Structure 1
């Protein structure tokens, strides 16, 4: 039996990223927006594809600032200096990189950027009045249209422990599925992949788990390409659903039910107490998960021991230690 850390984290994800977040001095003022989480922690476990759309289209460093402006009902990216419209050029950068990005497992965008901002950008009228606060950068808009299943997040939102954990979890799951489907896979391989991800899927979307299961079950009787496309769409749709403390507690109880016949009363009591401490926000998720992993290994509880839910990414990232997760 392969250890859970091999099945869950052996694949190294490829992440697209706004270049300034890795420390490149490409911002409008000649500075950068280095993220220590990306460069000092995540960097050890992923490969990067850095992109700065504004620099790629030749705007220079430093450069005049850009802003979103509503013209004729559409949001355009214009220069604050002369009103030049750079929208189409910025969007085309996503098309230029699309072949590489089809192999990416996620993308991290600079927030508040008229080119890369994903959420809640201010939009102005040609006269300079703010007309909306729901804009999206031109590159970010094109990226998400080209690759709708790609996990994408803004750097600013990654300061939230729950959002950070969710995004990284999706990235590593995306990488594992990509590695499987890029291999010479057989129907049994997809079924085994689905079985290992059962608890992870259930912790986000029980219905998504059932939908993906139905697709995996027909892998031996349907066109492999159609099965792969359908499974990919449903798998990523399920994991995109935000989990909750209640869903996690239910999933932990599910693992406990599998292990319970193998444990004595004292260990059962300890596990139930740890799950309840998590449910009532006394302990972080890492506490009951660590106990479950320990007992799965000690009792050689094969099927449970291989569940990606118990180690969805490298432990060193410490993403389940916060009470907010």
Structure 2
């Protein structure tokens, strides 16, 4: 599954643009070296977007008990809150019209941080805030995969985020700009094993939604399916769930494999389950048997190939 030009938003400083308060950047090697060949990045710097210069005075989030404000660090009478809120709403609404498939934000930033951003209260500070721009972005597009640059160093978080980006891109591509219930149902068929791995509850919920498709207006069905799908994929697939999915896949070859082959297959799955082998080893075995014993339904399952192999995202899972 390889698609070029998937639109992903990104904090401009993470792309290497010198737009930070000190005139520097926070370029990510992973973004530049690994993701750039697959994604078309839409760069945004909220501070520059509201007309702040580079370099510029530092800003921070301050709570006055009624609301969180964005102010100058040294002089909290210099208030950027309304400008940032207005920019964030307009920019988020503009991005929502572009079928954006993900967003990478700069961690700890009072405008772009996704979580644990410092919020100052009198003489103390608590890591409990969200950057004003990112908060509005997530409010406008709650289905959108959003992740911080630093968290992409974690192999599990990285694989989960990239998988969600490719899934949303696949969803939009499958709709072809003209969603229909039939297209959504066909898409769902290819994501059954993926959903089983991420969330058994969501797998059942989406299955019921698809089974009752005729009871919903087309637009409502599309919107509800997208929302539930992307929420489900946010839940990281556990080894236990992945192993159960692999056992399910093994069932398609049950009558075709010898006793020894079945035992070897089961051994690989068990070793993955306890952490001795990576997920890729078990997936490779499934794909090997698919070449020997083709199965149209199993071959169509995105679980076996959710993102380009060259990203090497399943080596450490």
When normalised by structure 2's length, the TM-score is: 0.94
Q: What is the CA-CA distance between 1:144 and the residue it aligns to?
A: 1.1
Q: Distance in 2 between matches of 1:296 and 1:272?
A: 16
Q: Distance in 2 between matches of 1:96 and 1:105?
A: 18
1:26–1:52 CA contact under 8 A, matched in 2: yes
Output aligned runs, 1:247-286, within 5 Å. Answer: 247-286=241-280
Q: Distance in 2 between matches of 1:131 and 1:17?
A: 27
Q: What is the CA-CA distance between 1:281 and the residue it aligns to?
A: 0.9
1:119–1:135 CA contact under 8 A, matched in 2: yes
CA deviations on 1:164-220 (whole Å, 9 max, x unpaired) are: 111111111111112233434543332221111000011011121121122223334
CA deviations on 1:261-295 (whole Å, 9 max, x unpaired) are: 22223332222121111111111111101111121
1:22 to 15, 29, 49: 15
Output aligned runs, 1:75-154, within 5 Å. Answer: 75-83=68-76, 84-97=78-91, 98-102=93-97, 103-125=99-121, 127=122, 129-154=123-148
In structure 2, the CA distance between the partners of 1:12 and 1:292, relative to structure 1 (3 Å rule), is farther
Partner in structure 2 of residue 170 of structure 1 = 164
SS in 2 for 1:189: helix
1:11–1:172 CA contact under 8 A, matched in 2: no
Count of aligned positions: 314
Tell me whether 1:59 sits opposite 2:55 in the alignment. no
In structure 2, the CA distance between the partners of 1:100 and 1:141, relative to structure 1 (3 Å rule), is closer
Q: Distance in 2 between matches of 1:132 and 1:74?
A: 15
Partner in structure 1 of residue 196 of structure 2 = 202
Partner in structure 2 of residue 321 of structure 1 = 315
Q: Distance in 2 between matches of 1:146 and 1:226?
A: 17
1:15–1:46 CA contact under 8 A, matched in 2: yes
In structure 2, the CA distance between the partners of 1:186 and 1:141, relative to structure 1 (3 Å rule), is closer
Report the more deviating stretch, 72-81 or 271-280: 72-81
SS in 1 for 2:63: strand
Runs (4+) of structure 1 exceeding 6 A deviation are none
Report the more deviating stretch, 44-53 or 63-72: 63-72
CA deviations on 1:44-86 (whole Å, 9 max, x unpaired) are: 1111111000111111111111111112432211112432111
Report the more deviating stretch, 249-258 or 259-268: 259-268
CA deviations on 1:11-51 (whole Å, 9 max, x unpaired) are: 74211100011110111111110111111101111111110
In structure 2, the CA distance between the partners of 1:12 and 1:267, relative to structure 1 (3 Å rule), is farther
1:11–1:175 CA contact under 8 A, matched in 2: no
Q: Distance in 1 between matches of 2:314 and 2:38?
A: 17
**Structure 2: unaligned runs, 5 residues or longer:** none
**Structure 1: unaligned runs, 5 residues or longer:** none
When normalised by structure 1's length, the TM-score is: 0.91
Tell me whether 1:211 sits opposite 2:188 in the alignment. no
1:92–1:139 CA contact under 8 A, matched in 2: no
Partner in structure 1 of residue 25 of structure 2 = 32
1:111–1:154 CA contact under 8 A, matched in 2: yes
